[in-house]
Amino acid sequence: MLEACGLAVQLVNAAQAKNLPGRPKTDKLDAQWLARLTEMGLLRASFVPPKAIRDLRDYTRMRTRLTQERTRCFQRLEKLLEGAQVKVSAVASTLTTISAQDMIKAMIAGQRDPHQLAALARGRMKAKHDDLVEALDGMFDDHHGELAELLLDQITSLDAKIARLGARAAELAAAMPAAWGINADGTTGPGAGTGPDAPVLNAVARLAGIPGVSEDLARAIIAETGLDMSRFPTAAHLVSWAGLCPSARQSGPRTRAGKKGRGDTWLRGSLGQAAIGAARTATFLGERYHRIARRRGKGKAQVAVARSILVIIWHLLKNPGARFTDLGYGYYQGRLDTDRKIRNHIRQIQALGFEVTITKAA
């Protein structure tokens, strides 16, 4: 409302304008104190994206909430089946598969024969017929069917809402001039920058080229960071704002491992999801995830890859003409010094109690 009146509004951290001891505290004096601090440049404005980005953020965050609720519905459905001694999830990878849902719908309709239910399997699940028969031989009755039907109806309703929100978010992102690309003939607009010969891809397509980042995730990330990277002078500033870098904790000769900041939890969630997706690919990011996970665990690896993805995103949004180029799965190994690798392998073998003599092959 203040922005609509033409006022320049700043959102600042309350810790920077903390009330001083001994000073009277009233609303009027607080307003005068804030005005004085602002005039002297002692308050730093927090990042507040423009209205178009805030509108997109409302849609992407609502879509994330409904997606999480749909996941909870599937978990409730799995618990219901487990209570009925139906172990479909022990054979099927997830209840979201078409085969698993066909079996559940058949049980709701009154089918109880495990052989008939197992015959509904599709694709690779057909090879697990015997395991399915054993898993579907439970105590599923009518009251389980009624509850399962309610959960499936809720999941179907959530699917429709999620699709509607995703379509609306796509419309809003396409309507932003800052997100438009440029076609080969130099024209621009909402649909420009989608072809392979386009000199400048649209912002969503640029981010979707990163392993693990889908178009929906790209829009969710843009909704949190915005499109104007001048707000973050370097990629390190964006990483720090997102809360993906550890804080420094040093006192005297002791240096302790710092913890991550809180940052933007919505952005961190999207980046974590992208990192898990990238870990399943034979790319530089996938190799980085597995290399760090072997040494420090999957949690550290996920944060490290999420940070790498955010650095890539900063560069892609900072330079619209840039495109993501994968370094390749063997990039890190190819840059390691050969002598160093030999020393590491010899040290590991010697630690097992063996003496090693190596000869270079002819």
Map residue 111 onto helix, strand or coil.
Answer: coil
| In contact, 218 and 201? CB cutoff 8 Å | no
Residue 326 token pair: 């994968």
Residue 34 has pLDDT above 70, yes or no: yes
Mutual angle of helices 142-174 and 51-83, in 10-degree steps = 160
Residue 359 token pair: 């000869």
Only one residue has tokens 């054979």, namely 91
E strand or H helix at 217: helix 215-225
Q: Would you give the end-to-end CA distance of the chain in angstroms? A: 78
Ramachandran quadrant class, 46 (left: phi over 0; alpha: psi -120 to 50; beta: rest): beta
Q: What is the pTM for the complete model shown?
A: 0.82
pLDDT tens digits, 189-228: 888 878 778 888 899 999 999 999 999 999 999 999 999 9
Average pLDDT in the 332-348 region? Answer: 82
pLDDT tens digits, 288-312: 999 999 999 999 999 999 999 999 9
Angle in degrees, CA 296, 302, 307, rounded to 5: 110
Q: How far apart are CA 132 and CA 113, in angstroms?
A: 11
pLDDT tens digits, 126-145: 888 889 999 998 899 999 99
pLDDT tens digits, 240-275: 899 888 777 777 777 776 666 678 899 999 999 999
Q: What is the DSSP letter of 246?
A: B
Nearest CA-CA partner of 306 in 215, 239, 231: 239
